[in-house]
Amino acid sequence: MRLDELRKHLARANSEILIISPYLTPGTLSDVLSEIPEETEVTVICSWRDRDLHSGSSHLETYHLCQKRGWTLRVDHDGMPRTIHLKAYVVDGQDAMMGSANMTRRGMRSNIESMIPVTLSEHPSLSDAVQSSVEGSLEVDEAVCRRFKERVESFPPLETPKFPKFDPIHGETETQILELMPDMPTISQLIELQSIRDALDIRGIRFGRIRRLLREKPLLNRSRETINEKTANLMRKIIDADKRLDIQKRYGTDCLVWKVHKILNLEIRKHLLPYTGRPLRDIGLEEESWHRDTNGTTVRNFCLSKLPPEIRIAISNLSTSDKSIRLGANGKPLNPSQIGPRIVLTNENGEMLDRPVSQMLPEDSLRDSLWLPSFCIFEAPSGTKMGDAVILGFGLWESDVHFVADMDYDLNEDKIRLENLDSPFFDNPFRMESESRTLFTKIANAKGNAHLPLGHPDRKMSRYLTQKALASISDDILSHDH
């Protein structure tokens, strides 16, 4: 992973580090520099041009992070004659990683990027570009930051441009299937829904409707099994070509549907843009709460309070569970997240229940809660007080066909392991987080009941989303980074 490679590269510094990245997020910067020697002199150069600050590609909070860590921040701005577009990560004035990757969540993790090691003394033109970036940028202090803050506050509201979507190229049959689909839902249609369970009419079509279309085709083999297989293959082919679509089994059968979470998140993001990347103390949290321990529910409620009433109602109606993701300074989730109902495996006497495994490991409510959960995402390393917690974003997330397949694998592994047990147990038989794709099962807090077997009514077990799954969800919701 680029982030890990760059972190190791910068940790080799003996005396100084220079980072040049036009687009830069404070959390990623903090993560990449998390292993450098404490006495290292750090200079960061990024863009504070109007368009980048307005769109959220750049953040004034970068200055506060640099100030706190004793680093120097320099910025490229609209008063400069030339724009800095270089991405360079230089150690001790010589060894550099250079390429296309900005120091953002997507630049370091998911985008197609390239970074290569170079020695600047061997490439005079690159050395000149690095030096020009330093000379062509402005050092930021309190007065400079204040001027930019006043400028940002004078910006007009951000209007999201409406670009036509590129239509993937399909064959004749796939095109006919898509002609059966309703138009992609609008934000107005979604706001009017009472539940995601009522949304199929505006989202998509059932498996059976696609199968009826294929029955009308001149197929060589018209058996039910062949048509079912061809229907499933065509649905899969369509979603592989168009990431706006998904296959969901939440309406009684496999359905081809439009994903709706990005439509909702775009609207949510527009309203939260003035507050994202900023600590709660700076965006309206009452002072009496600044020094309290950070609480995910409190951050979530504060975040919701910044949204218009109709958006809050839509989130309440459509969301199938309410969650928060707390990220550390390295941009990674601090803890896994409990999901679904508690698991009970014994009676009050500690005897294994005489029930089928499918009843002892309930899945329906778990699947339902993971259909369209909403997440408040914030940065608050361990020990952070409420006033210093930083809102990164808020959004809904759909467990798509790929996530569901991984979840099914994990759930099936739990079933197999429980089926091989016929007596109460004190050691967790289920797989650990590191062995799971999306979900793992662990013991709830014993609360003085360590003498009871696992799964006892007073010592229930719980399923959790892995931190890896939470990181993927966080990246999806925050995918407006460059």
Per-10-residue mean pLDDT of the chain, 482 residues long, equals: 84 94 89 87 94 87 91 92 91 92 84 88 90 92 92 80 64 88 94 94 95 79 83 92 91 94 93 90 93 94 95 96 92 90 93 91 91 96 94 94 93 92 90 92 78 91 94 86 42
Residue 320's contacts (CB-CB under 8 Å, 6 or more residues apart) are 196, 368, 369, 370, 371, 372, 373
Structural tokens at position 447: 């609360």
pTM, two decimals, is 0.70
Rounded distance between C-alpha atoms, residue 369 and residue 362, angstroms: 12
Rounded distance between C-alpha atoms, residue 47 and residue 75, angstroms: 5
Residue appearing with tokens 């950070």: 294
Q: How many helices and strands in the chain, by DSSP H and E?
A: 19, 16
- pLDDT tens figures, 228-262: 999 999 999 999 888 899 999 988 899 999 999 99
Question: What's 361's DSSP letter?
Answer: S
pLDDT at 170: 66
- The CA-based angle 245-249-254, given to 5 degrees, is 75
CB 388 within 8 A of CB 282: no
CB 129 within 8 A of CB 121: no
The dihedral built from the CA positions of residue 61, 62, 64 and 68, taken in this order, carries a sign that is: positive
Rounded distance between C-alpha atoms, residue 425 and residue 313, angstroms: 44
Rounded distance between C-alpha atoms, residue 337 and residue 363, angstroms: 17
Domains, the chain, in order of start with CATH, read: 2-153 (3.30.870.10), 172-259 (no CATH), 274-477 (3.40.600)
At 69, is the secondary structure helix, strand, or coil?
A: helix
Rounded distance between C-alpha atoms, residue 481 and residue 106, angstroms: 6
pLDDT at 81: 83
Rounded distance between C-alpha atoms, residue 293 and residue 281, angstroms: 13
Structural tokens at position 471: 């990181």
CB 314 within 8 A of CB 264: yes
Measured in whole angstroms, how far is the alpha carbon of residue 329 from the centre of its chain? 15
